[in-house]
Structure 1
Amino acid sequence: MATVAAIGAHVRVSGLALAGVDVLVAEDPDAVRRAWRTLPDTVGLVILTAEAAKALGSVGAPDPSRPLTVVMP
């Protein structure tokens, strides 16, 4: 079964843990990229803050070999 993860600043993603989301707190661009690289293969959906999506750039772009990503408004 696929899991859901969220990457971003603590104040933006911490509440998602209450819904069972694996929260990866990343306060700066380097931390975002590290969190992305360490995602387990079981993750099927990644929720990104706008800042995290910007830090990933094309790394987080849709790709059949990577999890589906969505960006929080």
Structure 2
Amino acid sequence: MAAIGEQVRVGGLSLAGVTIRAAEDPEEVRRAWQALPEGATLVILTPAAAEALGAVALDSVRPLVVVMPP
């Protein structure tokens, strides 16, 4: 599992063993998406990260992508 988005929104997920990819702007989000671990099966996105990735992530079948509520 991995999470991409603003540090303040995803930081706490590390306590549950989620790999955190803090990204504060759209370019960092896209780089974090490209750098996901090979075996990532679930990616949690903040709303801002989902907006930055658009259909690239939201239409993904693998990994499964979920977006945090606002």
TM over 0.5: yes
Give structure 1 stretches of 5+ with no counterpart.
none
Matched residues, number: 69
TM-score relative to the length of structure 1: 0.90
**Residue of 31, 36, 39 corresponding to 1:39:** 36
Instruction: Compare the two structures and name the one with the higher strand fraction.
Output: 1
Task: Give the 5 Å matches for 1:1-73.
Answer: 4-64=1-61, 66-73=62-69
Name segments (4+ residues, structure 1) moved above 4 Å. Answer: none
The runs of 5 or more residues in structure 2 that have no matched partner are none
Q: CA RMSD in A?
A: 0.9
Aligned mates of 1:40, 1:49 — CA distance in 2: 18
